[in-house]
Amino acid sequence: MSTVQIRSKGVITLPIDLRRRYAMSKGDVYTLVDLGDGSFLMVPQVSQVAHYGDRVAQVLKDEKVSVEEMLQVLAEERETYYQDHYVED
């Protein structure tokens, strides 16, 4: 059990042990659910864009591929797809 205090502008600082345990960091977004009787539930809202962006960045790093190389391959694949699906012989 921890005690927190509401500061100016409604800011609440969560104890460090909770932030570490749940890997909470600056910029994370949560939905606050009012359970009634003064009880609240904080539910993390994980950005799918950020999540997949992090995954892509990790794959690029692991495979030692630059962003420029990835964009070049995507452009080539896009052209191949266009030729295969929209250009008549």
Of 6, 8, 46, 2, the closest CA to residue 27 belongs to 46
Helices within 3-66 (DSSP H only): 16-21, 48-63
DSSP single-letter state for residue 38: T
- Whether the CA torsion 44, 50, 6, 3 is positive or negative: it is positive
Write down the pLDDT at residue 48. Answer: 79
Write down the pLDDT at residue 45. Answer: 87
CA distance 33 to 56: 32
Write down the pLDDT at residue 51. Answer: 79
Chunked mean pLDDT (size 10), the chain, 89 residues: 90 92 89 92 84 88 92 94 89
